[in-house]
Amino acid sequence: MAATAELGAAIHRWRDRLAPGDVGLPSGGRRRASGLRREELAQLAGISVDYVMRLEQGRATNPSSQVVEALTRALRLSTAERDHLYRLAGLAPPSPKTVPAFIPPSVQRLLDRLAGTPVAVYDATWTLLVANPPYAALMGDSTHWRGRELNGVWRHFLGSGYGVTYTPEARAAFETALVADLRTAAERYPADRRLRDLIAELRENSARFAELWDTGAVGLHDAARKTVEHRLVGPLTLDCDVLSVAGSDLRIMVYTAEPGTEDAERLALLMVLGTQDVRSAP
| Banded model confidence at residue 276, pLDDT cuts 50, 70, 90 | low
Sign of CA dihedral 145, 151, 155, 159: negative
Q: What is the pLDDT of residue 208?
A: 96
Average model confidence (pLDDT) for the chain? 87
Tell the CATH topology of 105-280. Answer: Beta-Lactamase (3.30.450)
| Banded model confidence at residue 281, pLDDT cuts 50, 70, 90 | very low
Q: Where are the domains of the chain?
A: 2-88, 105-280
Q: What is the pLDDT of residue 278?
A: 45
Q: What is the pLDDT of residues 53-74, one digit of tens each?
A: 999 988 887 888 889 988 998 8
Least confident of 94-103, 161-170, 214-223: 214-223
Q: What is the pLDDT of residues 203-245, one digit of tens each?
A: 999 999 999 999 887 777 766 889 999 988 999 999 999 988 8
Residue 277, pLDDT above cutoff 90: no
Amino acid at site 61: T
Please name which of 48, 221, 234, 79 lies closest in space to residue 143, comparing C-alpha atoms. 48
How far is the CA of 210 from the CAs of 109, 157, 189, 280, in angstroms?
38, 10, 20, 40
Coil, strand or helix at 225: strand
pTM: 0.77
Say if residues 209 and 182 touch (Cβ distance below 8 Å): no
Say if residues 154 and 166 touch (Cβ distance below 8 Å): no
What mean pLDDT do residues 170-197 have? 91
- 3 or 183, which is more confident? 183
What mean pLDDT do residues 242-256 have? 88
Q: What is the pLDDT of residue 280?
A: 41
Share of the chain above pLDDT 70, in %: 93
How far is the CA of 252 from the CAs of 12, 113, 129, 230, 240, in angstroms?
30, 14, 10, 22, 10
Please name which of 156, 160, 162, 151 lies closest in space to residue 197, comparing C-alpha atoms. 151
Residue 118, pLDDT above cutoff 90: yes
- 154 or 28, which is more confident? 154
Share of the chain above pLDDT 90, in %: 41
What CATH superfamily classification does 2-88 receive? lambda repressor-like DNA-binding domains (1.10.260.40)
**Facing residues of 164 across strands?**
228
What ranges make up the beta strands (E) of 105-233? 119-122, 128-131, 164-165, 224-230
Residue 146, pLDDT above cutoff 90: no
